[in-house]
Structures are given as structure tokens and as C-alpha cells.
Structure 1
Amino acid sequence: MSKKATYGTVLLFTLIYVLSFVDRQIVAVLGVQIRNALQLSNFQIGLLYGPAFSFIYAVAGIPMGRLADKTSRKGMICLGLFIWSFMTVVSGFAASFFFLVTARLFVGLSQAMLSPAVYSYLADTFSHQKRATIFSFYTGGIFIGVGLSFLVGGSISMAYDWRMAMVSVGVPGLIIAPITWWFLKEPKRPNQKTEVENNTFSEIAELLKKKTIRWHLIGFSSLACTGYTLLAFVGNLFSDTFNQPELIPKFGWFMMGVAVTVVLSGRVADWLAKRKPEYRFLMGIAAALGGLPFYLFGLFQPNPTTAFICVGIGVLISSSYNGVAAALLQYFVRSDQRALAGGVYLFVISIAGFGLGPPVGGWLIDTVFSGPYAVSYSFITITIFCSTLATISFVQAMKTYHQDVVPTDC
């Protein structure tokens, strides 16, 4: 594969990842409208955004990862893209909570096909020296997608309604899927074989024996919990707390800005690794602690504009870890475990991030905190706990880095 085609593939994967997060995040962007139209509670919106998607996404991620290590990554990427796009369009015709939950289950199942296959594809295509940068470029698509879900989906919903927004964001994936099939070429896999063909569970057990991988998963899933909780209720924050729903679509600009900080974080991680490879984890610590002061100051401001700016800056910093997290895991696994490791990573961050953060946040809003700043108290409680746990985990991971790293990926 030529260098031009290789980087073209990265751009295509990033575009697909953008579409996946537009379709994944759109429920939170439209959450207030859906809640009011279908007469739901904040807890139900948290379930719809979180567990209805994340549990099936998490459970499916591991077998999808194993499948991507054995079969066509190209086929999995294209099929997943078509299914989740179609189910997003179908969601625009939902008349009940049950209908939306069912559609979200299919979105979660099909999106589980994407990243394990892409992680394996990219790791087999680029050298380990560039891995954090390339993975960060790909995962930057998360925040372009989230940003577009606010800007495009939010704007369409305000001009028309939430149903039109759902249909509009789902259609592009139906167009891109056949183009992707035509463009992608399956890369060659390294000729690395194990002496014994292990089953999936024994492979996972082998991965989790490494302390660095365990600390990695605890730390980055904690950061995911913070990020997904904010995304789930940022609409409530500006609509219910500050009575400024027009700020919701504009928040998309900050989310798109995170795509830049993610790439910068990856570049810095690759630079730090030239001094000491374990310093890659410092970017996780920076994400865990860097956003806290802005959240603490901004979430309780009486001025909506000040709150908007501070929370936005907090997001730029606290979400910058995503590319580094995905790349780091690849340094501790064999080439025939790349997609499986990606599936395990997605399983853990989905359970802790999507699965726990939004419903716990919704429960805190509904039952524990009250008053105009209930959303703020809920989010900051989760953030302080998760940031502390993440920082401790990354410090521990750096201590065991060299005993667990695969020698060829130092």
C-alpha cells in the first residue's frame, strides 16, 4: 500500500469514526426534546444514552475483536457502518421508549465492529514510533463527531424537531458504506503465530495478568466515566441550570476542538516516549487533573457565558487522552491480539463510561441533589472521584511499564 493510500485510509477511518459518534451522541443532544416528547425521566434518558447502547457495545466488543483478528477487517467496518446508520434513521420514527432502546441496542452492536478492526488495521500498517500520533488522529474523530452532533443535530432539532435530526445524521453513513467497501484494501497480517491456539477467555486472562494493562484499563475507564457523564447531561446543564438552550449547539465547537487536543496529546506522548516510554502515561494524568479547576469554577457560575467557556476549556483538556489510551494498550500485546485488546478496552470503558456514568449522574440529579445546580453537583462529584482514581492508576502503570511491554514495541 502506498504512503498516500495509507494516509488516505486513516482519513477515511476518521470520517467513519466521526459518523459513529454523531449517531452515538445524538441522543444526548436531543435528550431534553426526547424527554419532553415521550414524557421520560432524566434517569431514563441516562439509560437510553448509556446502558441501552453501552452494554451491548461492551459485550459485543470482545467477540468482535477476536473476529477481527481472524477475518476481514474491511468487511466488519463496512457492515457495521451500514447497520448503525440505518438504525439511527429508524430511531427518528420512534414512538416509545422501548422502540428507542431497541434501536440503540442495534447501534451498539454494529458500532462494536468498528474500532477493534480499525485498531488492528492501523497497528499492522504503521510503525510503533508513530502509533500514538496515528491513533490520536483517528480518535480525534470522536470529538469532531460529538461536535457535529451538537452543531448539526442540535441546529436541525431547533429548526424542525428531534425526529428530523435523527434521520438527517443517519443518512450520510448509508452513503459512505459502499464507498468504503470500494476503497479499503485489507493489509497483510504479521506472520506471528502462537504455539498453542488459545480460546478467547484464556487470551483475555493472559492480557489481564499484566499489571500495566489492568492499571491502564482502570485509569482510562475512569476518565471515560467523566467524559460520557458530561456529554449525557450537558444539554440539561445549559437548558435546566442556566436556562440557555441556545448554547447547546454551540458547545459543539468545543467538542470539535478536542480533536485538536487529542492529536497534540498523541504527539507529545510520542515525544515523551523518546526519553522514557512510560512517560506516555503522563498524558493521562494531565487529562485527569488539568480540567478539574475549570469545572470547579465554571459549573457553579451564575453567568451562563462564563460557565460555557470554563466547561468548554475543561473538556478540551480532560478529553485529550483518547488517542494515547488506545495506542498505549498496543504496546503490551502481541500482533495477533491487537483487535482483541481493543475489544477489551472498549468493553471496560463502555461499562464504566457509558454504562455507569450517565445513569448514576441522572440518579444523582433526580434523587440526591436539588436546586438550580443539581446537574453541576452531580457532575463534579463523579469527576473528582474518577480523576483521583485515574491519577493513582497511571502512576502505578508507569512503575510496571517495562516488565509488561512487548520487547519489539518499546
Structure 2
Amino acid sequence: MIAAQPPSTLRYAWTIVALLFPVALLNYLDRQMIASMKVSVMRDIPSVGSEENWGHMLAQFKWVYAFFSPIGGYIADRFSKRYTICTSLFVWSAITWWTGHAKSFEELMWARSLMGISEAFYIPAALALIADYHTTLTRSRAVSIHQMGIYCGVIVGGFAGYVADAPNLGWRWAFDVTGIVGLLYAFPLLLLLRDKSRYVDADTIGMASASVPASKENEFKKLLKALGVLFGNFSFILLVFYFTLPAIAAWVVRDWMPAILQKEFNISQGKAGVSAALYWQAAALVSALFAGWLADRWMRRTQRGRIYVSAIGMALIVPALFSVGNAPSMHSFGLAIFGLILFGIGWGFFDINNMPILSQIVRPDLRATGYGIMNFVSMMFGGVADWSFGYMRDRHVPLNVIFTAFAAVCVFSAVLVLLIRPRDTGDSHSHH
């Protein structure tokens, strides 16, 4: 039987989600908007020079973000999710402000690298804190609302090109404003967020000793021990692959779709940018809410409820990729948009259940570390996907061939998630 939370605890659990929603929005807005303002930034900073340099700068963010994700997750688990979240927000907001004052390509590269480091600490800590406060009855819905903040950030970022083109505003103004907003928000956030006591977490019953720092072994040994526990768990390895493989397609959709739509359908940069971001992110935003509700309902019947909802999402992504890949050869802009909307619906189902599934197979004091590792692998493959997609496009590999390969990868992913074996049926007891 799954125990319900007392009203006061549940109220604060939802307060956590409300407090983190704007942080999630800024986390993605601050990293996305530079892509929408490319023309203005390159015109203003001539030393960027080439498309290759621009691509290198975008990739640099991913590599650095990937490397620091597990470190950020481990620090959040070992010390404090609250301080990790607030410090991350403060530092990346300062760097966002500084980006708006960059004068050279070298400065821009440093800014993006440092932003990659500072932003890497946020997502694992935030999702783990939400999972700490939300039990099986509300966890998917809580994560879905947080992820909606991310989708909103991407959508707002998609319109940043219009801000860059505005004579009285410009790209530097956009970085100034978002940087200052984040800096100011970090202070009330620090006052209002609370870490959940690791000694009284219902999930840890039966394994409390694992959460209590009994020995004085050094941090490196503790990190190795944590990695040993995670990689000794076959379901965790399956989840890492399941999390990573669809992200290969998602990074290409996110980073290349504006260019694809512009070239294949001969439309303006503004229309291509908005079409590429708005439709699938808006679809993900709506479907995430429904998927969160459905997953929490399904969990009342079976502990595999979240896994089934996630697998449905993966099944929707497969035809979506076929549609997007074949639309140019069929000269159908409508089919491309239909594919992007379907991709967004599937993505919402997939994206909001990753931390809740992780919470079913990994103990609470390793969740942020686990998610950091998932982020690391996913972002590394995302960088490779961006590079290899450009390589294939230079060699005129047809779009439908590339996207059919992505669809095949997603079919394989759907099989992987169904092999995951949850270890607990609720938060009132544990089967670790």
C-alpha cells in the first residue's frame, strides 16, 4: 500500500516545483537564445569568423556540460541540493550577463564553456530534490511541471531572434536582462528552498545506513563507491542507454531543424526558427502534463506504470521521425510540422518519466549522481550527433535515410525501457 503524504508536506512539495519552474525556464532560455541570434552575434563579433567556429562554440558548451553533470550530481547528493541549485543559478546568470559584454570569439568561447560548467549542476540537483519531496503518487506530475519550464525556455529562446533584430534592444540587451533576472532570483530562492533530511526519507527505510556518512573515507573513494553501486545495477545501465539513444535524434531536431526547414522549404530564417522550436516544444508542453497525470494514475495499478507511459512516448517518436525525414522529398511543409508535433507529444511522455523511473531503481542518496551520469552520456552522444549530421549533410546523405536510422534507434530504445525492473512499489517501503 502506498502511503499518502500529510497535507503540509504535500503543500511544500508543490511549492518546490513552483520555485524551480522559473529556474528551469532560465536554464534553457540562457543556453538556447544564442542559437536564435546567430546572425546578429556573428555580425557584432567578426572574430567568430566561420560557421565551423560557431559550431565549435556550440559543441564546447555540450562537452563541458556533459563532463561536469556527474560531478554536479554527486556534489548535490553528498552535500546539499539547495546550495547546489542556488549557486548554479547565480553563477550561470552572472556568466549570461557577461556573455552580453563579450567583444571577441575567444571571450565568447570562455563564456560558453563556463556556462556549460555552471548549468551542469542544476538539472540533476533540481530533479533529485523534486523526487525527494514527491512520492509515487505525485512524482511524474511534479517532474512534468518542472520540465514544462524547460520547454517554455526553449520556446521563448526561439523568439530571441526578433529581440536581436529590434533596433532599440539587440542581442546584448537580451543577455543583460536574463542575466540580471537570474542573479536577483537566486537570493529569495536560497531563503525558500529546503533540503529534505536524508535521515528521514521514507524511500531509505531498510537501507538508512547507506545514507549516513559513517566513515571518514575521502570523497574520491566515496565517489568510486557510488559509481560502483550505480553501474552494478543492470536496470540503471539500461536506463542510461534508454535516456541517451532518443536524445541523439532530439539534439539534431533541436540544433539543425531551423536550417533544414529554411533550406528544404526556402523560407525565412525567422519563420524557420519559430517553426522548428514552437510546434514540437508546445506539443511537448501539453503532452507532459497529460503524461504526468497518466503515469501517476498507472502507478496505482502497477509499479511498471511509468515505464509503460514512457514506452508509449517512444512509440510515437518513431513515426514522427519518418514524417520529418520524408517531408522534404514529398515537398510537404505540413508533413514536416505534423512530424514535429508528433515528436513533441512523444518527447513529453518520454522526458518527464526519466527521473521518476530512476527513483524506482536507485536509492535516494544516489539519484542526482545517477541523473548526472545520464546527462553526461546523453550530451556526449548529442555532440557526436551534431557533428556527424553535419558530416552526412556535406556528403549529401538523404534526409529520409538519416531519419530512418534515428527511428530504428528509437525502436531499440522502446525495447530497452521494457526490460527495466523497478525495485520498489512505493515510498513507504523499499525493496532494494
Gap runs ≥5 in structure 1: none
1:395 aligns with 2:415: yes
Aligned residues: 398
* One-letter amino acid of the structure 1 residue matched with residue 313 of structure 2: A
1:359 aligns with 2:379: no
Match of residue 368 from structure 1: 395
Which residue number corresponds to residue 430 of structure 2? 408
Identity in percent:
21
162-171 vs 178-187, which moves further: 162-171
Distance 1:193 1:85, change over 3 A: same
Rounded Cα–Cα distance in structure 2 between residues aligned with 1:313 and 1:258: 8
User: How far 1:116 sits from its partner (Å)?
Assistant: 2.0
2:55 equivalent to 1:46: yes
**Other-structure match for 1:249:** 274
Deviation at 1:33, TM superposition (A): 4.2
Q: Per-residue CA shift, 1:326-349, capped at 9, x if unaligned?
A: 221111111221221121122122
1:277 paired residue among 303, 309, 314: 303
Aligned with 1:155 (options 130, 137, 162): 162
Amino acid at match of 1:129: L
Task: Report if aligned partners of 1:284, 1:391 keep a CA contact under 8 Å in 2.
Answer: no
Aligned match of 1:166 in 152, 167, 175?
Answer: 175
The code of the aligned residue for 1:249 comes to V
Mark the runs of 5 or more structure 2 residues left unpaired by the alignment: 1-7, 201-207
- For 1:59, the equivalent position in structure 2 comes to 67
Give the structure 2 partner of residue 102 of structure 1.
110
Deviations 1:120-175 (A, max 9, x none): 21222111232222112212222111011112x12202324433333343332122
What secondary structure, in the 3-state scheme, does the structure 2 residue paired with 1:128 have? Answer: coil
Q: Corresponding residue for 1:334?
A: 363
Report if aligned partners of 2:81, 2:129 keep a CA contact under 8 Å in 1: yes
Whether the aligned pair in 1 keeps the contact of 2:245 and 2:413 (CA below 8 Å) is no
Matches of 1:270 and 1:327 in 2, distance apart? 10
- TM-score, normalization by structure 1: 0.86
Q: Is the 8 A contact 1:219 1:389 kept in 2?
A: no
Equivalent positions of 1:8-407 (< 5 A) are 8-35=15-42, 38=46, 40-49=49-58, 51-151=59-159, 153-160=160-167, 161-191=170-200, 192-194=208-210, 199-241=222-264, 242-247=266-271, 248-249=273-274, 251-254=276-279, 255-290=281-316, 291-300=320-329, 302=331, 304=333, 306=334, 309-320=337-348, 321-353=350-382, 355-365=383-393, 367-369=394-396, 377=399, 381-402=401-422
Letter of the 2:37 counterpart: L
* Bigger Rg, structure 1 or 2: 2
Label 1:226 to 1:42 Cα distance change in 2 as closer, same or farther (>3 A). farther
Q: In the superposition, relative to structure 1, how do residues 393 and 123 fare at CA in structure 2: closer, same or farther (>3 Å)? A: same
Q: Normalized against structure 2, the TM-score is what? A: 0.82
Give me the whole-angstrom Cα distance separating, in 2, the residues matched to 1:298 and 1:280: 32
Q: Could you list the runs of 4 or more consecutive aligned residues of structure 1 that deviate by over 6 angstroms after TM superposition?
A: 403-407
- 1:360-382 Cα distance to aligned partner (Å, 9 max, x none): 223333x2228xxx7xx2xx555
Report which stretch shifted further, 329-338 or 396-405: 396-405
Conservation of the 8 A alpha-carbon contact between 2:124 and 2:368: yes
CA distance 1:336–1:78, shift in 2 (3 Å): same
For 1:181 and 1:187, the matched residues in 2 are separated by: 14
CA separation of 1:45 and 1:269: change in aligned 2, threshold 3 A: farther
Tell whether the 8 Å contact from 1:229 to 1:357 is kept in structure 2 after alignment.
yes
Separation in 2 of the partners of 1:234 and 1:393?
A: 22
Q: CA RMSD in A?
A: 2.8
CA distance in 2, matches of 1:390, 1:222: 7
- 2:431 and 2:403 map into 1 onto residues whose CA distance is 33
